[in-house]
């Protein structure tokens, strides 16, 4: 029996960039359009092209200027596009007007990320987190305009519901949100009990963190003998996973794989998926896995550091693992002192495991000493 595949959507990327004077010594702007292209491909689309418009102020109705909008409409027709994806976060009205003007589906990067999360979720917790984020986003679209809600529910061009229907939808979504939050709370309590039991059994916790597509899950599989889903795509792994890690000296630890980080992740998504990062809070040690083969390596390192700091995990002990050395590394100051490894070939893994064991021994010894009377 053959599996029915979804048709590949042809996409065009747009970024309306604000004109800013470059600050002396400021780092270069990350190639966000390259990242957006990877996101669209991870969501099952094919990117036929992209364009950037420099704007001094955004158009409140369409974000981009009239001339750019007309050129974009012609591009949609000429190339037979199915979707236009904006790097910018669109307001509900902007999204509605753009869809009407262009005659195709219009999304922003936030919705693409949500779609990827929906594709990747496998566990009950992951699926609940996806639903929570989607409903939270839907609520914002509902408040923003009737036609926008209709677009989400039934496609472009359908008529929006009346005020009574809107209020019914609001109540329904609020009720669903409360139910999902209760279920997630139960799942988190259960996982917390599991962590506590493993601690009582003497298992220290090590968490893999890193930018999405850095190779964390490949490393996780290699050192634990597991079979976590791996793909060369952004957000290939969504659900948090924990397995026993056997260290060179004979001791065991609990290794946790977490969802990949991403630059400028929208706040509502970060909050909705915070549970996938709870393993970081439980960990005695972080292993920051970096894709050493990408030109965006230092930007990715900085993005991970920022998110860790935002979550109050910035001071946790951490080791830096520069992955994919079999593909060549870019180096850079941010990567100094890191362990050069290849999760795919196994190069450098033994040295990294010894370093993990050494860090855990130091941490646990310091913790034991701190309990002694002074």
In a domain, 355, yes or no: yes
Shared-domain flag, residues 288 and 353: yes
Answer yes or no: do 94 and 129 share one domain: no
In a domain, 197, yes or no: no
pLDDT at 152: 42
CATH number at 21 reads 3.40.50.11060
**Structural domain includes residue 118:** no
DSSP states of 258-307: -PPB-TT--HHHHHHTGGGGHHHHH-SEEEEEEETTSTTHHHHHHHHHHH
Q: Is residue 98 part of a domain?
A: yes
For the chain, first and last CA: distance in Å? Answer: 71
Please determine, for residue 265, whether its predicted confidence score (pLDDT) is greater than 50. Answer: yes
Does some domain include residue 188?
no
Query: Does 140 share its domain with 69?
Result: no
Percent of the chain with pLDDT over 90: 32
Stronger pLDDT, 156 or 60, i.e. the higher one: 60
Triad 309, 182, 89: Cα angle to 5°: 50
State which of 86, 113, 140 marks the end of a domain.
Answer: 113
Domain co-membership, 261 together with 339: yes
Choose from 14-18, 53-57, 286-290, 291-295 the range with maximum mean pLDDT.
286-290
What is the length of the chain?
374
pLDDT tens column, 174-187:
888 889 888 888 87
Of 68, 88, 113, the residue at which a domain comes to its end is: 113
Contact 310, 316 (CB under 8 A): no
pLDDT of 102 over the 90 cut? yes
- CATH code of the domain in which 274 resides: 3.40.50.300
Q: What is the pLDDT of residue 150?
A: 43
pLDDT tens figures, 133-146 = 788 777 777 654 44
pTM of the predicted model as reported, rounded to 2 decimal places? 0.72
Same domain assignment for residues 88 and 172: no
Chain segment 289-334, per-residue pLDDT in tens: 999 998 888 888 988 998 888 888 888 999 999 999 988 776 555 5
% of the chain residues with pLDDT over 70? 74
Q: How many domains does the chain have?
A: 3
Say whether both 30 and 160 belong to one domain: no
Strand ranges for the chain from DSSP E = 9-18, 45-55, 83-86, 105-108, 205-210, 241-246, 252-257, 285-291, 318-323, 339-340
Structure token digits, residue 278: 């709870």
Residue 153 counted as domain residue: yes
Residue 194 lies in a domain: no
Residues 340 and 213 in one domain: yes
Q: How many DSSP H helices and E strands does the chain contain?
A: 12, 10
211 with 356, same domain? yes
Range of the domain at 231: 202-370
Whether the pLDDT of residue 62 is over 90: the answer is yes
Report if residue 186 sits inside a domain.
no
Do 217 and 345 lie in one domain? The reply is yes
Q: Are residues 137 and 232 in the same domain?
A: no
How much is the pLDDT for 343? Answer: 93
d(CA 324, CA 286) in angstroms, rounded, equals 19
Q: Do 135 and 103 reside in the same domain of the chain?
A: no
Last residue in a domain, options 113, 140, 155: 113
Query: Coil, strand or helix: which one is 346?
Result: coil
How far apart CA 292 and CA 37 sit, in angstroms, is 20
Q: Is residue 166 domain-shared with residue 209, that is, in the same domain? A: no
pLDDT band for position 84 (cuts 50, 70, 90): very high
Distance CA(116)–CA(40), nearest Å, equals: 9
């Amino acid at each position: 029996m053959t599996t029915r595949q979804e048709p590949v959507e042809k996409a065009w990327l747009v970024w309306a960039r604000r004109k800013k004077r470059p600050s002396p010594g400021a780092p270069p702007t990350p190639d966000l359009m390259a990242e957006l292209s990877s996101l669209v491909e991870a969501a099952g689309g094919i990117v036929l092209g992209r364009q950037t418009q420099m704007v001094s102020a955004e158009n409140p109705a369409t974000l981009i200027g009239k001339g750019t909008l007309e050129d974009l409409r012609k591009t949609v027709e000429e190339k037979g596009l199915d979707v236009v994806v904006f790097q910018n976060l669109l307001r509900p009205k902007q999204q509605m007007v753009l869809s009407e003007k262009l005659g195709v589906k219009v999304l922003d990067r936030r919705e693409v990320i949500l779609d990827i999360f929906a594709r990747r979720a496998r566990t009950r917790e992951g699926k609940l987190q996806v639903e929570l984020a989607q409903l939270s986003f839907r609520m914002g679209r509902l408040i923003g305009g009737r036609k926008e809600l209709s677009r989400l529910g039934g496609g472009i061009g359908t008529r929006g519901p009346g005020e009574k229907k809107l209020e019914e939808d609001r109540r329904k979504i609020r009720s669903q949100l409360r139910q999902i939050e209760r279920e997630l709370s139960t799942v988190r309590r259960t996982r917390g009990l599991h962590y506590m039991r493993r601690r009582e059994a003497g298992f220290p916790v090590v968490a893999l963190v890193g930018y999405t597509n850095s190779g964390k899950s490949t490393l996780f599989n290699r050192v634990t003998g597991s079979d976590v889903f791996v793909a060369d795509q952004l957000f290939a792994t969504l659900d948090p996973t924990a397995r026993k890690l056997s260290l060179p000296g004979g001791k065991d630890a609990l290794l946790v794989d977490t969802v990949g980080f991403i630059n400028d992740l929208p706040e509502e998504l970060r909050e909705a998926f915070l549970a996938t990062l709870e393993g970081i809070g439980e960990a005695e040690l972080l292993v920051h896995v970096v894709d050493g083969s990408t030109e965006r390596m230092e930007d990715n390192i900085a993005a991970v550091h920022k998110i860790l700091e935002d979550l109050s995990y910035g001071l946790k002990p951490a080791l830096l693992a520069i992955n994919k050395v079999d593909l060549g590394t870019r180096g850079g100051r941010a990567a100094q002192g890191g362990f050069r490894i290849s999760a795919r070939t196994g190069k450098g893994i033994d040295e990294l495991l010894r370093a993990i064991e050494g860090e855990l021994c130091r941490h646990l010894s310091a913790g034991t000493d701190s309990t002694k009377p002074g």
